[in-house]
Amino acid sequence: MPRPDRRQFLQHLGAASVASATLGSSAVVQRLAAAEPELALPNAKADSCIFIWLGGGACHVDTFDPKRKGDAKAKKPGGYYDAIDTVVEGVQVCEHLGRLAKLLDRCILLRGVNHDVIDEHAAAVNRLHTGRPPTGTTVYPSIGSIVSHQLGARGEGVPPYVVMGYPSASRGPGFLGAKHGYVYLTDTESGPVAFRRAPGITAARQARREALLAPLRQRYVDRNQGDQRVAEYAATSDAALRLAGPQFMQVFDLKTESDQLRESYGSEFGQRCLLARRLTESGVRFVEVAFNLNFINGTGWDTHNQGQLNQHVLIDQLDQALTALIVDLEQRQRLDRTLIVVATEFGRPPEFDGGGGRGHYSQAFSCVLAGGGLKTGQAIGVTDDLGKKILQDPVSLPDLHATIHAALGINPAEELYDGERPVPLTDRGQWVRKAFA
C-alpha cells in the first residue's frame, strides 16, 4: 500500500480532529471500546459503595501484607504480629484479623497500592480521595462526589453521598459544585445535625416556614439567573428540606435492628458500618465510614511511638466490623451489589522509630476490596520480604479509582468539565483487570 503524501496526511489529520470535536471524547472512547475488546468496560454488578477510611495510615505489614516478625526494642525491621493462614490458599493476614481470614474468599487484597506523598497526612488524604495531585487552577472532586455526579442516588428522598466523619475539603465536590457535595454526620443515633428540627418545631410549623420562604427564595433566584452558585444553593436547600423529613431520618434508627445483629458489629465504628449498610439499602450511592472519629488508642492508625502498642485494638475492631458487614450484606443478598473498599492514606515502613512505632510509607501499601461482584478470593500485588518494594502488579491511585468506578459501571475514561475545560474522570487510570471475572 503506497504511503500517503503530505497533503493526504494533513487531510486525514484534519478530518480526525473534526470528528473528535463533533463526537466528543466520551463518544470516541465508546467507539474505541467497541473496536478494541480490551478497552470495553467489565460487566459491573455493584450499584453502591461503602468506603471505609482508616485515617492516619494503616500499616500494611501489620495487617493485610504480613512479613517476617520484627522486634521494636531491638530495632529489627519486620511485622509486629504473627501471620495466620486464610481460606485463600497461600494468602496470609495478621493474627488479629482472624474473623476476616475465614471470609477472605469474599475479598481482594490489593498489595501494590502506591503514590509519592509521604510526610503530609492532609496531602495524602486529598490524593487518596481525588486520585491525583492538586493544581493551582482546578479544585478536583472527591471520588464520592464523582459517583454522585455520574450515578445520583438510587432511591427517592435520600442523598447520593454520605460521609460518616468530620467535614473535610478532601471529601468535597470541587468544581462539580454543591449539588454533589456530601451529607455528613458524627453521631449514628441522631443522624445529620443539620436535618434535626429544633425542639418545638412541629411538622405543621415547619411547613408554614417553608411556605413563607419559598417565594422569597424564588424571587432571589430569578434576579440572579446567571449566577450558577445561587442556583446550586437553591437546589441544595430544597434537597436538604426533603432530606429532613421522616423517610430519610428513620434510616438512622439502629434500634430497629435486632440486638444480636447490632452486637455482631461491635464498637462505635462497627455501628457506623451497620448504618452504612442501611444507608446503601435505602438508596444512598456512596457512603464513607471514617474509623477514627476520636482516637481510641491515642494516635489512631498513625502509629508513631506508643501508638504501635495498641494497634491491635484498632485491627480487632476493624476485623469484627468488616466481617459483620460482609456477612450481613451476604445474608441480605446485597454483597454482590455493594462494593466495600478499605483504604488509608499510606502504609508504614517495616523499620521502627525511636519510640518503637513506625513512620510513613507510601511506595507500597494495601487496600481491600470486598463484594461488588468482583473476582474475589485473591491477593493482587506482591511486595518484597519487608513490604517496601512492589515486585508485581503495582496499583496507582488513578488505577484504584478506575477500578472502583468500573465496578460501579462508570467509565473511568469519561471526561468531566470544569467550566469549559475538560478534566478526565481519572488521571489516566486503568482498572485492575485481575479484579474482574
**Is residue 7 one of the residues assigned to a domain?**
no
Q: Does this model's pTM top 0.75?
A: yes
Whether 181 and 320 share a structural domain = yes
- Of the three residues 243, 278, 299, the one that is the final residue of a domain is 243
**Is residue 397 one of the residues assigned to a domain?**
yes
**Is residue 33 one of the residues assigned to a domain?**
no
Sequence-separated (6 or more) residues with CB below 8 Å from residue 174: 130, 138, 139, 140, 141, 142, 145
**Is residue 32 one of the residues assigned to a domain?**
no
**Is residue 310 one of the residues assigned to a domain?**
yes
AA identity, residue 145: S
Mark 204-238 as b/e (b = at least 16 C-beta within 10 Å). Answer: eeeeeeeeeeeeeeeeeeeeeeeeeebbbbeeeee
pLDDT tens for each residue of 321-334: 999 999 999 999 99
Give the CATH number for residue 304. 3.40.720.10
Sequence-separated (6 or more) residues with CB below 8 Å from residue 142: 129, 130, 170, 171, 172, 173, 174
Whether 308 and 418 share a structural domain = yes
Whether 234 and 108 share a structural domain = no
- Of the three residues 173, 208, 243, the one that is the final residue of a domain is 243
CA 319 from centre of chain = 18
pLDDT tens for each residue of 365-403: 999 999 999 999 999 999 999 999 999 999 999 999 999
pLDDT of residue 243: 58
What range does the domain containing 140 cover? 41-196+246-435
| SS3 state of residue 353 | coil
Percent of all residues in the chain with a pLDDT value above 70, rounded to a whole number? 82
Closest CA relative to residue 31, chosen from 42, 20, 21: 20
pLDDT tens for each residue of 222-255: 788 777 676 666 665 665 555 555 678 889 999 9
Count of Cβ atoms closer than 10 Å to residue 16 Cβ: 11
Whether 205 and 299 share a structural domain = no
pLDDT for residue 31 is more than 60: no
pLDDT of residue 230: 66
Stretch 201-209: mean pLDDT, rounded?
68
AA identity, residue 263: E
Residue 380: its H or E element: strand 378-380
Whether 204 and 294 share a structural domain = no
**Is residue 19 one of the residues assigned to a domain?**
no
Whether 329 and 294 share a structural domain = yes
pLDDT band (50, 70, 90) for residue 15? very low
CA 412 from centre of chain = 15
Whether 269 and 410 share a structural domain = yes
Whether 316 and 408 share a structural domain = yes
Whether 210 and 306 share a structural domain = no
Stretch 272-293: mean pLDDT, rounded?
95
Whether 128 and 223 share a structural domain = no
